[in-house]
A and B are shown apart, each in its own frame.
Chain A
Amino acid sequence: MRCDYSCRSDEHVMNRRGFLGGVAGLGLGAASGLGSLFGRSGAASAAMADQGKQMLVVWLAGGSSQLETWDPKPGTVTGGPFRAIETSVPGVKICELLPGTAKQMHRMALVRGVNTKEDDHGKGHYLMHTGRPQTPGAEHPHLGSIAARFLNPEEGPLPGYIHITPGGGGLGGSEAAILGPKYGALYLGNGQPPNNTGRPLPPEADAARHALRRRMNDRFATRRRTAETDAYTTTYEQALQLMERREVFDVSKEPERDRDRYGSHDFGRHCLLARRLLEAGSTFVQVTHSNYDTHNENFAFHLEQLGEFDQGFSTLLDDLAQRGRLDNTLVVVMSEFGRTPSINYLYGRDHWSAAWSIALAGCGIKGGAVVGKTNDKGTEVVDRQVGAGHLFHTYLKAVGLDAKGDFLVNGRNIQVADPAASPIAELLA
């Protein structure tokens, strides 16, 4: 869906800081100017966010098994070979594959009653990133794009949405949907710096070239400004900043001891990069760990993958806490769905969205909380069932964003998060 804001209305001139609670002093006049993009929000939601909030999403691609992570059922017909272990929260047990994470449980919350009713990879990916089912003709911004739009300072030193992937990938800016491509993700394939961030020209020539480009852009924007031209301009400016800050992406600058603690595997390196990016001021960092689509040999593959996850993730979470960043950083661990309680003939588990789990930590989250419950075999939710919409509301609420604000799309107000859902109050601090 094109971001059609060539109307030059007030909201597009308004700095995004206008949405931030920290600058609520901008007053009603400024806030009301936001109405048609982030709508009835108006004055009420001028205070909807705090500056300095950050988000970290760890995406376990393919659909990790809730039984081998957050909701183990040892000794049952669906339990598999792994046992449950105690955590730092008395009475809360998770799978033995996560011993490091178990020590962080007092900082985390579990949602064990997730039912997303979507077993397709692509649709599950969309659902968990946007909080809404994928429907023809409608595109909603991903969580990262919302964070980039409403939490990231306009003049932020780094792109608001950075996604560290195991390989390449990327959605070509479409994550941002109606927000416009400049809020799309910057992808760091295999944790490598963005391409072409080395300086091809001497600094003086480079500066002169960019000065000319800016003058031409400004002139063009007075008559023909669109989301695409904005994105073009923003991208150039961000690219300049990235070139200045190229070493932000270089984990070799981190002490060797830290690199050892995170692990010698790619995921460990990517978690360390995530720490580095968050500390450098990036608003939203996503780290994808691949792959959990274990139709075959689920247990051997989860053993392998979760060994990496546990080391990298638990070290990162502990570091964020020790360095005083966790209070302002919302952490989410999720997948497109969970995996079947039943074990197939290949020692595998298949796609399963009817009863699965996610984990949260940090900003706005009540440490040690466990919300929702599945039955003894993990085949259905028996208490506090929630969907992706509830989760999406919860993420936004946790970082102080008003999920009931509106986007204006082709003259129609669309609420940021699914109006049929609401935040999970028991999770919120």
Chain B
Amino acid sequence: MSADPSAIDPAKTHLVKDLVHDRALVSCRFDAQGRFVFAGSEDNSVVCWDLASGAKTVLAAHDSWPHALASTPDGQTLLTGACDGRLIWWPCAAEKPSPSRTIEAHAGWVNSVAVSPDGKLIATAGNDRLVKLWSAEDGSLIQELPGHPKYVYQATFDPSGRFLASADIAGLVILWDVSVRKEARRLDAGKLSKYDQGQGVDYGGARGLAFSADGQMLFVAGLIEASNPLGAVSNPALVAIDTREGGAAPFLHRPKDDLKGVAWGVKPHPGGFLIAVTGGTGGGALLFWKPGEVNEFARVALPNTGRALDLHPDAIRVATAHHDGHVRIWSLTEKPPG
């Protein structure tokens, strides 16, 4: 699919493909070349759909839910991390994919996996409070990065590959200098977290994490106003953080109304806006924010609660994964006539 960038109009977003699995989905990701869309399922499998043919392949090797998916830049390899603590390498285009490598990556859940822009490093984040760097080539552990006091939910490389950002349940963001493999500085997305004294739980944290194209801004997806964590009473929100020393204070993006739910993922669009998917008691939605504006400028209701989001390399299509087992592919353009 190709389109004139000027044709991008989030308000005109419409469904172009509906891909169905028979169990609830928890994650989704396009491969870096844009041929496939992958989704992790509550049946422990990762489902692969060929976007051109619609052919469906099931990747079965995890013993638990695969929340973490990432593609190498060449699109040849899919990395999957799950609540079984394992990180698995898969050949993307194989007719009957089987793991090419499996490692015990974390003690507890692997919450996030990211591949460096040059394809040489893999970063994982886990409930063992660790961020880890791995060799993409041979799967060897390069460095453990301790520092988070609580579960680490997200990790992502900046576009230059020099920095890695990780974010935890308490909203602590650590910027790691990958070249020296040390902490560079700490950033604050604490607006997205709370400890509920009455219910005795930490809640919130980073549910999605992405850098801007220039690497200066970091966007953290999550929730605010969690008045009843166990009852799912919260509003989705994004925090935009200037990663530079002495940068501006974190900026909060929130819905213009009392939409209930969580922002489960965020992607910056080359057109200069942010896309987030939400899910919760308020239903599913795609929300579109412009930098510096508190409220969204466009919103598209989804037919089922949203759980994950990815932006296709063509910057036109967006994938959303849902509790009803669907991966829905949306176009950010006006629907053609007929």
- Using a CB–CB cutoff of 8 Å, the interface residues on chain A facing chain B are 62, 74-75, 77, 81-83, 166-167, 266, 289-291, 293-297, 299, 301, 303-305, 343, 345-346, 348
A346 touches B281 (CB 8 A): yes
Neighbour of B127 across the interface among A75, A303, A348, CB < 8 A: A303
Q: Collect the chain B residues with CB atoms within 8 Å of residue A295's CB.
A: 230-232
Rounded to whole angstroms, the CA-CA distance of A290 and B197 in the bound complex is: 10
Residue of B whose beta carbon sits closest to that of A308: B200
Q: A133 vs B127: C-alpha distance in the bound complex, in angstroms?
A: 41
Which chain B residues in 48-62 approach chain A with CB under 8 Å?
none
Interface mask (B57-86 → A, CB under 8 Å = 1, otherwise 0): 000000111000000000000000011100
A333 to chain B, nearest CB (A): 17
Kindly state whether residue B333 has any CB partner on chain A within 8 Å: no
- Chain A: CB-nearest residue to B43: A77
Q: Determine whether the beta carbon of A291 is less than 8 Å from that of B200.
A: yes
A296–B231 CB distance below 8 A: yes
Residues of B within 8 A of A289 (CB): 200
Task: State the CA gap A72–B323 with chains docked (Å).
Answer: 22
Is B231 a contact partner of A166 (Cβ separation < 8 A)? no
* Min C-beta distance of B39 to chain A, whole Å: 16
B201 touching A291, Cβ below 8 Å:
yes
Q: A343 contacts which of B24, B197, B281, B305 (Cβ < 8 Å)?
A: B24
Indicate if the CB atoms of A81 and B64 lie closer than 8 Å. yes
Q: How would residues 22 to 62 of chain B score, 1 for a CB under 8 Å from any chain A CB and 0 otherwise?
A: 01100000000000000000111000000000000000000
Give the CA-CA distance A346 to B233 in the complex, in Å: 11
Q: Contact partner of A304 among B24, B43, B202, CB < 8 A?
A: B202
Query: Once the chains are docked, how many angstroms separate the CA of A304 from the CA of B201?
Result: 7
In the complex, the answer to whether B84 meets A345 with C-beta atoms within 8 Å is no
Query: Which of A83, A295, A304 has the most chain B CB atoms inside 10 A of its CB?
Result: A304
Assuming the contacts A82-B83, A346-B232, asked whether A291 and B65 have C-beta atoms less than 8 A apart, the reply is no
Q: Is B229 an interface residue (CB 8 A)?
A: yes
Q: Which residues of B contact A294 (CB under 8 A)?
A: 230
Those of B151-202 within 8 Å (CB) of chain A: 197-202
By a CB distance below 8 angstroms, the chain B residues around A167 are: 197-198
- Chain B residues, Cβ within 8 Å of A304: 201-202
9 residue pairs of the A-B complex, CB under 8 angstroms, read A75-B44, A83-B63, A266-B200, A290-B198, A291-B201, A293-B231, A301-B201, A305-B200, A343-B42
Contact B230 A62 (CB under 8 A): yes
Which residues of chain A have C-beta atoms less than 8 A from B281's C-beta? 346
From B281, which residue of chain A is reached at the shortest CB distance?
A346
- Chain A residue at smallest Cβ distance from B261: A346
Known pairs A295-B231, A301-B230; A290 contacts B63 (CB<8 A): no
Is B280 located at the chain interface by the 8 A CB criterion? yes
CB-based contact B230/A82 at 8 Å: no
Residue from B197, B202, B232 having most chain A Cβ neighbours under 10 A: B232
A167 to B280 alpha-carbon distance, docked (Å) = 29
Q: Which residues of B contact A299 (CB under 8 A)?
A: 83
- A242 nearest CB across to chain B (Å): 27
A111 → B minimal CB distance (Å): 25
Chain A residues within 8 Å of B280, by CB: 346
For B23, B127, B230, B281, the residue with the greatest tally of chain A CB atoms inside 10 Å of its CB is B230
Beyond the given A81-B64, A266-B200, A299-B83, please list 11 additional residue pairs across the A-B interface where CB-CB is below 8 A: A74-B63, A77-B43, A81-B83, A81-B109, A167-B198, A291-B198, A293-B230, A293-B231, A296-B231, A301-B201, A346-B232
Distance in angstroms between the alpha carbons of A81 and B63 in the assembled complex? 8
Task: Pick from B24, B82, B199, B279 the residue with the most CB of A within 10 Å.
Answer: B199
Q: Is A291 a contact partner of B230 (Cβ separation < 8 A)?
A: yes
B279 partner residues in chain A, CB cutoff 8 A: 345
How many angstroms between the C-alpha atoms of A343 and B281 in the bound complex? Answer: 15
User: B232: which A residues are within 8 A, CB to CB?
Assistant: 295-297, 346, 348
Bound form: Cα–Cα A18–B203 in Å: 52
Contact B201 A82 (CB under 8 A): no
Assess whether A296 is in contact with B229, with CB atoms less than 8 Å apart: yes
The answer on a CB contact under 8 Å between B200 and A290 is: yes
Residue of A nearest to B44 (CB): A75
A346 and chain B: residue at smallest CB distance: B232
A81 to B45, CA, bound (A): 12
* Chain A residues positioned under 8 Å from B65 (CB to CB): 81
Contacts of B83 in A (CB 8 A): 81-82, 299
Tell me the complex Cα distance, A81–B231, Å: 20
Q: Which residues of A have CB within 8 Å of B109?
A: 81, 303
Interface readout for B104-130 with A: 1 if CB under 8 Å, 0 if not? 000001000000000000000001000
Contact A305 to B44, CB < 8 A, known contacts A81-B64, A83-B64: no
Cα distance, A230 to B323, chains bound together (Å): 59
User: In the complex, A425 Cα to B281 Cα: how many Å?
Assistant: 45
Distance of A62 Cα from B229 Cα, bound (Å): 13
B108 closest partner in A (C-beta): A303
Check A345 against B230 for contact (C-beta < 8 Å).
no
For B63, list chain A residues within 8 Å (CB): 74-75, 83
CA distance A301 to B84 in the complex (A): 17
Q: In angstroms, how far is the closest chain A Cβ from the Cβ of B166?
A: 18
Which residue of chain B has its CB nearest to the CB of A61? Answer: B200
Residue among A82, A297, A299, A346 with most chain B CB within 10 A: A346
The CB with the most chain B CB atoms within 10 A, among A83, A266, A345, is that of A345
Q: Chain A residues with Cβ under 8 A from B203's Cβ?
A: 297
Q: Are A290 and B229 in contact (CB under 8 A)?
A: no
B84 touches A83 (CB 8 A): yes
* CB-defined contacts of B127 to chain A, threshold 8 Å: 303
